Amino acid sequence: MSTEIIAITLLVGAFALLMVLRVGIGIAMGGATIITMLYLKLPISVVFQGMISGTKVFTFMAVPFFVLAGELMSGGGISKRLIHFAEALVGWVHGGAGMVNVLASMFFGGISGSAAADTASLGPIEIEMMTEQGYDKEFSTCLTMASSVQGMLIPPSHNMVVYAVTAGGVSIGALFLAGLVPGVFLGLALMVYSYYIARKNRYTKSEKFSLKRVLKTGWTAMFGLMTIVIIVLGVSGGIMTATESAAIAVLWSFVVSVWIYKDMSIKDYYKIATKTVKTLSIIMILIAVAYSFGWTVTYLGIPKMIASGLLALTSNKIVLLLLLNIVLLLLGMVMSMSSIILILTPILVPVLTALGVDLVHFGVVMVLNLGMGLLTPPVGGVLYIGSAISGVKVGRLTRSMVPFYVLMFSVLLFLTYVPAISTFLPNLVLGR
């Protein structure tokens, strides 16, 4: 057996074993990398040099700013204002409470970029609102969780930033624009399903439509929604880099939360900053360790081997994209989203390039795919948050989520095989 084969077996085997033993993903990647380096008699200093290099990428500085901006808006009173605005817009139709849930998540997700923050912040309000109007608690919770995935598609999304850097040379501005239409498309699909369920079960409507209320709540919510405008126009228009736009978004979020909405004090900021640092410590450690792990993977020629293997299996683009989606869905059930993006993206790029798949388009597909993993056991973080805030057991929620899994997978396949939905806007605005 050749040295390369033994090294690959050690790398993959050690990583898999540590994951089975429920060791943290960062430790699993780092431990497998060091074991492989020792076998290859390469200096261990390469691991630590790679970790430093992985975090010195300027674009990655956007990630801390985006996370902080999302936390500021989450704790700064934006949640209830977005729900009031969404209720004024669609709360008067059949299934209105469900549509309010989806629309509010669409707005809030575009600010926070986090499905977990969306569910934790909006969930208690949305679930109570829906159950008061006669909706089943399981359905209300499942809709809240499913709609939260929109936030990872609608900019700003720090996962899109991580994908852009890991894929190498992919425009963040193009990715942000590419996620807008799919995010709205997913929201519309969930709204249609909510309407169907409301009609079927004869759920009540809320108060009548009022243009005055729409204008009033829209004006109040506008200050929070301006965060999306600042980021999208700034990055896609070439006025700012992603990092610069994220920094400005933090400043704007702070001003809105403290001096406009006045729902947050300076003292509250320290709690939010502490929470952000805890979140970022996990993300940045993963980025650092994944860089060394990725270097080892590339050194052993694994991406080329996988690309050749997949293309030898079938040259049919439709079949290969379906296989990739299934693999990502399965991995999303047992691994964290950022880990999969960091590990798999460099491996998949040669395959996608050989197939002629637009990397911007696939970025949208990958983020939506892995977003579904947040809603599935055994490690779906959003699933557990939904269970905690609603009081419904995880097992019952998982069973109730089945129609949503089917709906979201259908949307995923549609986006996979109709790339124009993702690429239309960046092509139009950026002239790609």
- Give the pLDDT confidence of 183-215 residue by residue, as tens digits: 999 999 999 998 888 888 877 666 677 888 888
Instruction: Return the HEC string of the chain.
Output: CCHHHHHHHHHHHHHHHHHHCCCCHHHHHHHHHHHHHHHHCCCCHHHHHHHHHHHCCHHHHHHHHHHHHHHHHHHCCHHHHHHHHHHHHHCCCCCHHHHHHHHHHHHHHHHHCCHHHHHHHHHHHHHHHHHHCCCCHHHHHHHHHHHHHHHHCCCCCHHHHHHHHHHCCCCHHHHHHHHHHHHHHHHHHHHHHHHHHHHHHCCCCCCCCCHHHHHHHHHHHHHHHHHHHHHHHHHHCCCCCHHHHHHHHHHHHHHHHHHHCCCCCHHHHHHHHHHHHHHHHHHHHHHHHHHHHHHHHHHCCHHHHHHHHHHHHCCCHHHHHHHHHHHHHHHHCCCCHHHHHHHHHHHHHHHHHHHCCCHHHHHHHHHHHHHHHCCCCCCCHHHHHHHHHHCCCHHHHHHHCHHHHHHHHHHHHHHHHCCHHHHHHHHHHHCC
State the Cα angle at 331 between 19 and 313, rounded to 5°.
Answer: 115
- Contact call for residues 147 and 189 (beta carbons, < 8 A): no
Which regions of the chain are under pLDDT 50? Answer: none
Could you identify the residue written with the tokens 């650092």?
288
The whole-model pTM stands at 0.81
pLDDT given for residue 413 in this prediction: 96
pLDDT given for residue 205 in this prediction: 63
pLDDT given for residue 414 in this prediction: 96
pLDDT given for residue 210 in this prediction: 81
pLDDT given for residue 432 in this prediction: 63
For the chain, what are the domain ranges? 43-430
